[in-house]
Each structure stands twice: as C-alpha cells, then as structure tokens.
Amino acid sequence: MNDIRVRYAPSPTGQPHIGNIRTAFFNWLYARHNGGKFVVRIEDTDQERLVEGAYEGILEALSWLNIDWDEGPDKGGPFGPYLQSERLEVYNSAANILITKGVGYYCFCDRDRLNNLRKQQQENKSDIKYDRKCLNLSNDEIEQNLSNNIPHVIRYKIPADNTIQLNDIVRDEVEWNTNLLDDFVLIKSDGFPTYHLANVVDDHSMNISHVLRAEEWLPSTPRHLLLYDALGYEPPQFGHLPMILGPDRSKLSKRHGATSILEYRDLGYLPEAVINFMVLLGWSIDDHTEIINRQEMVKLFDLGRVGKPAAVFDIDKLDWMNGNYIRDLSDEDLFEHVKHACIGEFGANIVDQYSDRLTKMTPLISPRMKYVTDAPDMVSYILTDNLSVEKEFIETCKLSSSDIAIALTATIKYVQEEIDFSKDTLESEMRIICGQLEYSPRNYFGLIRNVLTSRSATPPLFDIMEILGPRDTLSRLDNALKLFQ
C-alpha cells in the first residue's frame, strides 16, 4: 500500500495537547504500518488567533515523541509549501472556480447585519442561517462593491434537499441532510481561506489518501464532501477518531491532569510512556495488553480496532505507565535522564563534580521514581560535601539525646577504623554495633539515615554510605554529634 498518504494539520493557535498529538500519532502509525508517507501541514489561516511560538512548539512536541515526518514546512517536499499562509493563490483560484460554477458567491453583509440577523432568528426560534441576501446580486452590483473596497467574504451555496452520505472508516455509515446546513464562508474578509476550503484544496493537491482526524470534525465533513464534488476532486477516505473525555466523562481539561505535550516532558514523563498511553486512547491490540512498544504498534496498528466510544483520560494510568518505563530503562539510559534533570536543578558543575556518586545512585532510586523530575530531590543529599541536618529532625529517630550521642560516637569510631567500606561489610559490622548498644535496629539505623541524608526514607542505607565514602560519612556523623555535646 505505497499510495498511503496521511497528514497532521494543526493550527498554531496554542501548544499541542494530548488529543491533538494522539491524532498525529494515529496518522503516523497508519503511514508507517502501510509504508506510506506522513505529512505535516501547518494551518495558519486564522491569523487573529495565532500564538507566538506555537508553530515551533508543534514541531518540538513531535520531535520529543520521535514522531518523524516525511514532508513538512521545515523539510519541504513535492507538494509544498506546507504553510497555508504561503498558499493563498491556490485557495483564491479554487474559490473563483466555485464562483464560476455558480456555487460560490460574494457576500457584502457587515458584522452588524449578521449579528442582528442571528439575534432575530434566535428570538424567532428559527434555524441560525445566513439569509442569502447577497446570493442574487447582479454582476454590476458585485463589481461596484468590489471597486469601492467594501469588505466581503465568499460563501458556498448549499444545495437544497440533498442527502450526503459517508462510509467512515471508524464510524461506519453517516449521512446528513443539506437543509440543515448553512451557506458557509470560503474566503474571509481578510483574504484568508476558512478551514473548510483550505483543508479540501490542500488534501487534494497533496494527494492525501486518508484523513484521520478527531470526531469533533465530523459535522464539518458534509461541507467538505460538497466542496470535493463541486471542485471535481476525488475525496479521500475519512476516519473520525473517538473523543477523549475526563474520568468523569466530561470534556477533557487541565483539572483532569491534561496539559500540553511539552509540559508532560517538563514534568518528567518519558516520551515512550506518553506514546503508549496515547495509543490506548481509542485503539488496542486486545482487551488486556497495556504495555506496547513502538515497534509492536507499527506492526499491529489497524484502523479496524479503533473504537467508536469516547476514550477516557486517566492521569493515574499515565503515572503508572511512566513508572514502568522508567524501571525498564537501562542504568545508562536512566542516568542520562537523571543527569539532565539534575543539571536543570543544580547546574552542570555540581553534577560533573559528583558524577560518580550520581552514577551509582541512579539504579537505587529507579524503583521509587514516578517521574524523571523526581530525581533531583531524591539525590540532592549526595551532591554535596556539606549537608546540613537540623537537630530536631535527627531526634525523630526516637532515641534520647544521650543515646543519640552514644550511638554517633560508636559509629564514628567504627568508620574511622574500617578499611573495607563496602555495603556488605558496613551492614554486617553496624548490625554488631547496634546489638552491642542494645538499640532497636529501627531506631539506630533510622538515626544514621537521618544524619547522613536528612531524610526518613531513602534507598538502602549501606549503599548510600558506600556511595558517600568514609570521609563524607565521617564528616556528617561528626557534625551531628556536635549538636548533642
């Protein structure tokens, strides 16, 4: 199926979100599964709503998720340009063809008239539609208005009493009655096309074979099919992907944990975890498999397994999945993620200075990590030689002040004399000390943990002591003892 050509056509009116990128990924999977082409096209015709940096954010999000594209505004290709703002002549040409055929017409109604018309229709509880005041203007009237530079749009004349049918790849048979449609705008007063015209013209001129897009675009489809017919184009196959809802079945929003894709990166999610999570928002290989690698996705992706019901966004599931992917990383790969996060928190100089400690610590924190960004807080106490621990925190070990002083003195003496500072020897010898002091292991080792890490919960204590080494361990014990003398 080498003729498969699909596209991702976002508008740079904000940062890409989970639903938007889910659409991109399904298109990418379909192209890669079938040996086809994945095209990125930027639909920047809504000039009033453009957001600075959004275009760059779209490409950055795709790159972070390793969703590569074959053609696009940065790469070029045989059907460019891939920015709609650079294709205005193409849209104007199509609009002129529609006018010549009698299905497109100029409309010179100003905003006030249209607002009053809408208000009146609402009061009368009638259909909200343009009343075609400008449909039958004479050529002379049109030319005069144009020569006087009266603002105008170009509309499409909806045929009456027609039934439009679509065999949707996902939603099966869908049909619409044209009497329910309005004469929609093709070219806006600023000279830019609407989504409807630009979308159809570009999908045709770029040889797009399949349009896979969100269900929210299904109501626009009859307009697009009318345009395909009027322009003499062969329409692509359409597949409308299921909506994504919050756990309470309401529209997905930030209160459900949904945010922009790049914020997931900044929050410490791994790209492969996000990809795995997204692919299950509407598709599956069976009724129970949840962890799927990218190679399996490409091999098994089938539009026949895209569901009709809305998918439910569950941030807890994404967190669980991210933890799984973190634990599956090799020590080397995890270290690179941890290093990057720590550089952002502490700076490159600190991370370079304690790189050996960080390398040894990384596999110890992996089981506890939910996000990559957990790492800086989990390792901060090993990235310094001058850890400061409050006396009140040390005392949470539930030993008296005198017992704390005794325990620290005995441990200092041991550390000063110990030659083999391996974790196994440390554990064996310090358990002997604990027994000799007749303290409970919970209280004694809790004390040492508090002193060395300023934390009540850490990876295994003896691993940490081995990483800190005898000099830093001794320094921290000495500083703590001074607080109790």
Tokens 């005069």 found at: 144
Instruction: Identify whether the C-beta of residue 378 lies closer than 8 Å to the C-beta of residue 454.
Output: no
Q: 208 — phi, psi (to 5°)? A: -70, 125
Distance CA 109, CA 111 (A): 7
Is 254 annotated in the active site? yes
Q: Look at residues 225, 235, 4, 191 and name the one whose alpha carbon lies nearest to residue 90.
A: 191
Tokens 């290093």 found at: 339
Instruction: Identify whether the C-beta of residue 6 lies closer than 8 Å to the C-beta of residue 208.
Output: yes
Distance CA 48, CA 44 (A): 10
* CB neighbour class for 378 (10 Å; exposed up to 12, middle 13-18, buried from 19): buried
Peptide bond into 81 cis (omega under 30): yes
* CB neighbour class for 165 (10 Å; exposed up to 12, middle 13-18, buried from 19): exposed
Q: Which helix (H) or strand (E) holds 267?
A: helix 261-267
Catalytic residue among 119, 254, 413, 482: 254
Instruction: Identify whether the C-beta of residue 301 lies closer than 8 Å to the C-beta of residue 36.
Output: no
- CA separation (Å) from 111 to 107, 277, 342, 350, 422? 11, 44, 55, 61, 79
Nearest-5° Cα angle at 290, 263 to 321: 35
What's CA 307's distance to the chain center, in Å? 21
Tokens 């989504």 found at: 195
Looking only at the bridges linking them, the beta strands covering 37-40 and 311-312 are unpaired
- The residues annotated as belonging to the active site are 254
